[in-house]
Amino acid sequence: MTDSGDDWCQRGILAQQRGELETARICLERAIACNRDNYVYHYNLSVVLEGLGRLAEAASGYERVIGMQPDCVQACNNLGNLYRVAGRLDEAAAIYRHALTLRPDYCEARNNLGTLLKDLGQLQDALECYRQVLSQVPGFAAVYYNIGNVFLELQKLEDAAWHLEQAVAIQPDFVLACHSLACVYRDQGRAEEAQAWYRRALELAPDFQEAAAYLLHLMMEVCDWAELPRRYAQMMRLVEAGHRVVPPFTLLGLPAGAREQRACAEAYCRAKLLVKPAGSGARGAHAAGERIRIGYCSGDMGNHPVGNLLAPVFERHGRRRLEILVYSYGPDDGSETRRRIMAGCDQFVDVCGLDDAQVAGRIEADGVGILVDLQGFTKGSRPGILARRPAPVQVVGLGYAGTFGLPGLVDYLLGDPVATPPEHAGHYCETLALLPHCLLPGDGLRRVGEAPARVQAGLPEEGFVFCSFNTPFKFNPESFDIWCRLLHAVPGSILWLRQMHGLARANFMREASRRGIGEDRIRFAAVEPTIAGHLARLSLADLALDTFPYHSHTTGLDALWSGVPMVTRAGETLAGRLGVSMLHAVGLPELVTCDGEGYFALALELAQHPQRLRAIRERLWVNRSCCPLFDTARYARDLDRLYERMWRDWRAGKKEMIVLEADGE
């Protein structure tokens, strides 16, 4: 073989095919030394440099190729991929589109453009790209997968399931499609099928850490605790390693500390979000005397704990200084709560069906000054809206008990001196903004009707009633051990829970049996269609048992408003301190304990000493009418003052912890 450029190029290509990338690089550089004007040599060298991880050099090489041969669509596509990795998103989109101008049927570039648009939250445009590819290549499994993921983000679950089922039918070993299909089945409530597909993904790829993390989350939701210690230890190793795939919400229900929660959220956000720098321009900067526009953003604006929690607050915001806009990206459930929210704000903007970029654009166009995210990382959340920084001041709180972890995404985290004391500021990447009383607003106007007969509520005529109406995700073996010890120690007592179905109920009852608790000691409340009816029957309970490490939220408020005392255990995280905050705000701090044994001892003492429990119930019943926890008007005034302080600080160019003093009530 001679030493011509073509010969060196051929040697380089053969070395690359053998995986000898360093040899390939040397050969291709020698080819270029023979003929610097041959774009094919430069293209192949760029491919090798990309394989070696020398991405900046590879990008420069592709740029050189395009300069020499503008219609080299492969170089355009590869350069777009590198721009995307480097965060040069506008340039990536432009170069993909350039390739498609040159060759409209170039499916790879169109598919990559769709994925870029999906990452940018432009879901409808992404769908259009994917559908065009599918029209050209009907059996393209990866495109069915991509379309399924877009529909999953849009929570169009039937469409998502159909496309993902097509992907795994075409390619049964498609690991990512198996995982996404499991996520769809999980959101559809098909827990057994979801578990099977997560496990299928792990069979195909045992090191697929994202599937392992989501499987753990699902196991918690259905009380499948057999593998919990092993899988929790595995997840914490991922968190310690800064792995991006652990869903932050999962950690709220596990014994992870504040440091781990923050690290997990930061790694997740860095992998999933492309955060626009916070601007300091005039967006939302209304003239003196104009009302500050407060935008609330959520998919839970209906008959949901968050919607029910905030409907009375929206009605009581002071309209002299504030204008309240609600951006709802969830479906209209036709509920009375949704109608109440719509009537209680200045503007209700239904953005269901719009992608993140479109929602952010609407918020910015509306001149929102302070944007409040109500979902965090809960189901259906869309932090991609926040990542576009559509408002000068961005806040998280009320609907999520944790940090986003990523500096620059959100400015303030709403808290209170008990749930998020100033000395815990390092637990959060956001600046703390502390209300003077409990972070959660109780509705002091809800009617608690006359309690039904116990038999009507599915309870025995006699016996002490412990209750916990929390979601099963918050249950765990440690807490359940304590609850079962209480049932053994208090003869004739029962544990009253919210309704469970299918796999969750079967698993939970199996765990009870393992602890020597028969079916007659566990009662499940039937679904009650009205809040008033639920509160009335809830008053039949004798004592509410808070969950740990993830405390009750609205379930705790419901119990206390119904006159049922609640025992809690204090943790170090926001999720593990909300019960403490509620009890302080309702004037019952003596019901807070420091550890599991203290929790058990206090609950047992109250169950065995009815006179002491009766005195606490009477004090709770009196306190309900005058304590900060259920004074919604006072809460709304405090929140107004907090927003006004945030706005003044932003106009002054500063951001510091806000500790709001009580307003002399």
What is the per-residue pLDDT across 166-216, written as a single tens digit (0 to 9) for each? 999 999 999 999 999 999 999 998 999 999 999 999 999 998 888 988 999
Give the C-alpha separation, 179 to 217, whole Å: 13
- Residue 213 exposed, middle or buried by CB count within 10 Å (0-12, 13-18, 19+): buried
Cα 130 off chain centre by: 26
Share of the chain above pLDDT 90, in %: 77
Classify domain 454-630 at the CATH topology level.
Answer: Rossmann fold (3.40.50)
Give the C-alpha separation, 79 to 73, whole Å: 10
Q: Check residue 3 and give its pLDDT.
A: 75
pTM to 2 decimal places:
0.86
pLDDT tens-digit map of 309-331: 999 999 999 999 999 999 999 98
Q: What is the mean pLDDT of residues 30-53?
A: 91
**Letter for the amino acid at 593?**
T
pLDDT tens-digit map of 499-526: 998 899 999 999 999 999 999 999 999 9
Question: pLDDT tier at 413 (50, 70, 90 boundaries)?
Answer: very high
Q: How many CA atoms lie within 13 A of 561 on its CB side?
A: 26
Whether 122 shows a pLDDT value over 90: the answer reads: no
Whether 288 shows a pLDDT value over 60: the answer reads: no
The CATH number, out of the four listed (3.40.190.10, 3.40.395.10, 3.20.20.80, 3.40.50.11380), of the domain defined by the range 292-434: 3.40.50.11380
| Greatest Cα pair distance in the chain | 102
Q: Check residue 281 and give its pLDDT.
A: 41
- Pick the closest to residue 660 from 637, 633, 629 (CA basis): 637
Q: Check residue 282 and give its pLDDT.
A: 43
Judge contact between 269 and 406, C-beta under 8 A. Answer: yes
pLDDT tens-digit map of 391-403: 999 999 889 999 9
For the record, the structure tokens of 335 come out as: 């509920």
Whether 8 shows a pLDDT value over 80: the answer reads: yes
Q: What is the mean pLDDT of residues 337-355?
A: 93
Q: Check residue 585 and give its pLDDT.
A: 97
Question: pLDDT tier at 160 (50, 70, 90 boundaries)?
Answer: very high
Q: Taking all residues of the chain, what is their mean pLDDT, rounded to a whole number? A: 92
Q: Check residue 530 and give its pLDDT.
A: 86
pLDDT tens-digit map of 75-110: 999 999 998 888 788 899 999 999 999 999 999 899
Judge contact between 437 and 662, C-beta under 8 A. Answer: yes
3-state SS, one letter per residue, for 262-305: HHHHHHHHHHHCCCCCCCCCCCCCCCCCCCEEEEEEECCCCCCH
Q: Check residue 237 and give its pLDDT.
A: 85
Query: 370-373 and 292-298 as β-strands: parallel, antiparallel, unpaired?
Result: parallel
Q: What is the mean pLDDT of residues 471-490?
A: 97
Share of the chain above pLDDT 70, in %: 98
Whether 277 shows a pLDDT value over 80: the answer reads: no
List, in order, residues 6 or more apart from 217 with CB less than 8 Å away. 247, 249, 250, 473
Q: Where in the chain is CATH 3.40.50.11380?
A: 292-434
More confident residue, 521 or 356: 521
Whether 438 shows a pLDDT value over 80: the answer reads: yes
Q: What is the mean pLDDT of residues 626-644?
A: 96
pLDDT tens-digit map of 214-227: 999 999 999 999 98
Q: What is the mean pLDDT of residues 625-635?
A: 94
Q: Check residue 222 and give its pLDDT.
A: 95
- C-alpha distances out from residue 251 to 214, 306, 314, 655, Å: 11, 20, 30, 29
Q: Where in the chain is CATH 3.40.50.2000?
A: 454-630
Question: pLDDT tier at 664 (50, 70, 90 boundaries)?
Answer: low
Asked, as a colleague might, if the bond just before 138 is cis with ω within 30 of 0, I would say no
